Structure 1
Amino acid sequence: MKLTSLNRLTVRALSATFVVSAALLATSNGAYAQTSTTPATHQLTRADVRHELEELEAAGYDPSRGDDSNYPADIQEAERKVAAMHAAQTSALNDNQPAMQTMPTH
């Protein structure tokens, strides 16, 4: 009689483990499917990264400073300037005006 109760308990524990595992697997696959459904942009090349770094350096970011106490703020400011320059260039192209050639100063 004890053996039968033990077998039932083992089967229930394994069933519960299976259900939990299946639920986790289903949710993780769903999460992966959601992230992978976004349209893929072109893969960055070394030239793309180098160009971005050159733009950031032109906007005032200096990666050679090493452990800079201003680190996140200085690159974020440079990124903001580059984004503003790109927005101005896009706007100029859309308005058929000459594109901005220099970095914004504010």
Structure 2
Amino acid sequence: MNALTGKKLTVSMIVAAFALAAAPVSHAQDASDTTQAAPQTKAQKKAARKEARAKKNAELKKLEAAGYNPARRDDASYPQDLQNAQKKAGIGQGASQ
């Protein structure tokens, strides 16, 4: 029972409410709007993923060389260990702050 109306909610009512809540909001676009990039091809997306993975792997190698060990599951000192290794390796802390 719905506490506000005293009526039972049906599945169709719930689905309709969800569909309305999840409906995208449309915005008017100016003809001169060129901020959207051209769609990437499959090969471009694959190259971008490969480049990002290589960058993250290189960063992890620098952190491990600076003394960080991600396999050492010590949750009590986790953030401080990582931050110390980042300072030592000269890697920016980015979104971890």
TM-score (norm 1): 0.37
Answer with 1 or 2: which has the greater Rg.
Answer: 1
TM-score (norm 2): 0.39
